[in-house]
Amino acid sequence: MILLQPGNRILEETLRGILIVEEDENVDEEEKKAGRDPIDVRLCDFDDVSYRITIEAERLNVLIVSMAAPCISQIESKGAEEALTKHYADFKVEAQGGMDVTLEIDLDKVKGDEALVKKLSLLRANVIGGVFEYFFDKLNKGETPEGPFQFRIRGDTTVYVFPGKDRVVFIYTLDYPDKAENCIAKVFMQELVAVKKKVGKAPPIGFSATPPQELKDGLDIQEANCNLGYISIAILKSHIDSDKKISRCAQLLQDFRPFMQYHIKCSKSYFHSRMRARTADLLKVLTRAKVTEEDDGGKAKVKRTAGGKVFKRG
C-alpha cells in the first residue's frame, strides 16, 4: 500500500525554483531584483483543484499563488476560512482571477526558506483539511455541531458528515463510471472492511451498496445515488487525542478518494502487464507447436491443389 503525499510536488518544485535566489545569502538585493522575471504557471492537483503561480511585470517583487477548489464555497464556514487564516494570515488577500484563494508573498520581505516552500505546497491540504479538523475540534471539546453536513469534495464524490458526542462519522459516495474500476473498487472496499477485524485500534469502517442508516434517518436518502455504494468511517476521540493525530486523520480522510483512484489505476496497470506477459508466453508455445511434415526422402512434402498449383502450409 502506498500513501499519497499531502503536498503538491509540482507546486513545491515550482516555488522552490522561484525562491531559490531569495535563499542565497551570497546574492545581494540588487542582483535578486534583477534576476526576477514575469511568470505565469498553471497546474492541477487532486479533487479538481488547480493552481496559478504568477509574478506580474508591474510588480516583480510580489509572488501570487492562487488556488481554485470547487468545494471551498461549501466548507468556508466549516473550517476552511479558519484554516486559511491560521496557516496563511500574513499572505491572504482577496481572491483574484476567478480563483477561490489567493496569497501574495512580498519577495523583498519574506525569507525564502524551505519551511515556506513546504507550507505553500500544502495549500490544498491545509485549507480543505480544515473542514475535517473543524469537526475533530468539536469532538475533542465535547461539543456537537449542527448536522448532518455534506459537501462535494470532488465532482464525483460527496462526503456526508454526522457529528456525535463520542464520534464523527464520515460517509463517502463511491461512483466509478468505468465497469472495470467499479469491480476493482468493490474488492478493495470489501478487503478494507475485512482487515478492520485484524487492526483493533483502527476506526470502525462499513461498506454497503445501499444508503447507511445515518443517510436514511438524517437526510431521508432511501435509494443509492451512486453506482458502487457507500463507505463509512467513524472517527473516535482516541483517534484524534493529539495535534499530530488530528493532522494525520484530516490528511488521510481528505485524500481517501484519490488514494482509492491511485491504487485502482495501479491495479489495472498490473493486470495489463500480466496479461501481456501471458500472451507473449502463449505465442511462444504456439510458435514451438508448428509441425513440419517431411517425406521418406527427407524432403518436405509438396502439396498441390486440384489445378496443380503448389500449396504450402503457413
Over residues 194-252, the pLDDT tens digits come to: 887 787 788 889 999 999 999 999 999 999 889 899 999 999 999 998 999 999 999 99
Integer CA distances (angstroms), 88 to 82, 84, 294, in order: 10, 6, 84
Residues 219 and 262 in one domain: yes
pLDDT of residue 29: 58
Domain containing residue 85: CATH number: 3.30.1460.20
Alpha-carbon gap, residue 264 to 24, rounded angstroms: 43
User: Does residue 139 form part of some domain?
Assistant: no
pLDDT of residue 24: 53
- Cα 131 from chain centre: 17
Residues 111-162 pLDDT 10s? 767 889 999 999 999 999 999 999 999 999 998 888 799 999 998 899 999 9
User: Does residue 283 form part of some domain?
Assistant: no
> Looking at the 3D structure of the chain, how many domains does it have?
2
User: Does residue 49 form part of some domain?
Assistant: yes
Q: Counting beta carbons within 10 angstroms of the beta carbon of residue 120, is it exposed (0 to 12), middle (13 to 18) or buried (19 or more)?
A: buried
Residues 79 and 32 in one domain: yes
Residues 123 and 156 in one domain: no
**Which of 104, 128, 152 is where one domain is finished?**
128
Residues 38-83 pLDDT 10s? 999 999 999 999 999 999 999 988 999 999 999 999 999 999 999 9
Residues 116 and 154 in one domain: no
**pLDDT of 307 over the 80 cut:** no
Grade residue 107 by pLDDT with cuts at 50, 70 and 90.
confident
User: Does residue 308 form part of some domain?
Assistant: no
Candidate from 71-75, 148-152, 260-264, 296-300 with smallest mean pLDDT: 296-300
Grade residue 273 by pLDDT with cuts at 50, 70 and 90.
very high
Alpha-carbon gap, residue 188 to 229, rounded angstroms: 12
The boundaries of the domain holding residue 47 are 9-128
Does this model's pTM top 0.85? My answer is no
User: Does residue 282 form part of some domain?
Assistant: no
User: Does residue 286 form part of some domain?
Assistant: no
Using alpha carbons only, what angle is made at residue 209 by residues 205 and 215, rounded to the nearest 5 degrees?
70
User: Does residue 275 form part of some domain?
Assistant: no
User: Does residue 296 form part of some domain?
Assistant: no
pLDDT of residue 72: 94
pLDDT of residue 295: 44
C-alpha grid cell, residue 292: 513440419
C-alpha grid cell, residue 298: 527427407
pLDDT of residue 36: 76
